[in-house]
Structure 1
Amino acid sequence: MFTIDVWLLRAIIAIFLIAIVSSLIGSYSVFRGSTFLVSGIAHGALAGAALGIFLALYLFSVNYLLVALIFSILFALAIGYASHKKENVDVSVGVMFALSMSLAILFLSLIREYASVAWGLIIGDLLLLSQTDIEIMTLSVIAIVLIFIIYHRRILFSIFDPEGAMAVGLKPALYESLLYVIVAIGVVVLLKGVGAILVYALLIIPAAASKRISSTVSITMLFAFLISLFSGLGGLALAVISPVSPSAYAGLIATSIYFLTIFKK
């Protein structure tokens, strides 16, 4: 009778969840032209995770992914607020990027287990996910999917035609901020599995590759899901037979697919 180890099953579930996030958030970020935002928020989540680990070790029990979620949402809202005040989005992201990395280094420096903890947050590991990690990731993805089901058309309208959205009574700034919050939630879903560095690879690259070979938003989302899923499962399969993090393999596979789409053109 075929059996599967719990750690492997958790990794597979995480890959499916990551593929869903890549399909939705990655596609919207690519169409919005705000892919750098993902990197900024990812490092905000890293700072929050580092703070959560510090609190759990020395003060009181708290799940560091929840702290990372709070931090990433606050950073996303701060970036959105600055952009609504006519500040350049890239400048806002750059400032928050610097702040988040400073905080991450500060908190990680205060942790005695600095090296191992920092390495785990930076590169992640799909093979070391706990049941609690999977539960938080699942709830986060459910929240993202529900928000997109409810506000999908309004977010699209606000992204592609903000003037038209205002003309029919919508508030593009509000839905843009909502999109930033969704990106923040999605980043945390990826943080533990692939680490802060490779969040960009598995959140943006599948959608960017998909956009080059598709003509509609829905097809782009479908291909982004399939590319992310293939990259994740391929990375996991290679990691099982070699002493390398599956996220590294997944990032390389996704990047290779993107370059293939360039050559195709």
Structure 2
Amino acid sequence: MNQPLRGKRILVTRPEAQAGNLADMITAQGGQPERFPLLKIAPANDLSPLRQAVARFDEYSLVIFISPNAVNFSVPYILSRRPWPETVQAAAIGPGTVAELASHGLKKIIAPSERFDSEALLELPAFQAHRVAGKRVLILRGSGGRELLADTLLERGARVEAVTCYHRSAPDDGTPIMSLLHNRAIDALTISSSEGLRNLLSLLDTEGCERLRVLPVFVPHRRIADMAIALGMQCVVLTGPADAGIIKSLYEFDWLHHERNC
């Protein structure tokens, strides 16, 4: 059996709840996934904004879920208090979020089919000014993050509310990953968010950062790639979107050439 990742230890940095699929794909290709979530996910400290939104749920035309975590920390709460209204259209940025919504029985989801980011969502017909002007739009998201989606919809005339339903934070202890880097026991890493990359660098000492910067870094979005380069990563691989794009780039990567030149 062809296993192009045999003998390679790959750092998987997605939040714990989203890391399993990519880790399984790496294992199937002969690699050894090393899970180290760079974002800790927890429920929002204050659920009153979500509770208030649910109380007037029928007033929204669109409800946008930013991530699978946005689904996991809001949809069970919503559906425990009321059925999903037929008049409210759900939207998602990526396929992982669509899949999470489907697991809760929500099937008719507006989502991009190629790039998976706020820009791609805003390009869809349903989000153009003549479609959203005067409409109430609810964005369910985590703490922090970009304001592009909300700001653009406001500019297009929508009445936008953004509710934080989960909290993101950095790991407390970088010792496990620092040990692996010091011992040259990591062959590559996958990064799925700019915030996660910043968290990783903040956890490392000087030697750890130096080891990290020569490793191949596989990222599924140009914005993350640009940040990785700006932060000194010397081998940044821009992959296709989602886990499928990352795994394809991992098994197509020229490992021998990289090892010869590092």
TM more than 0.5: no
Greater percentage in helix: 1
Larger Rg: 2
**Which TM-score applies when normalising by structure 2?**
0.25
**Which TM-score applies when normalising by structure 1?**
0.25
Higher relative contact order (CA 8 A, sep 6+): 1
Greater percentage in strand: 2
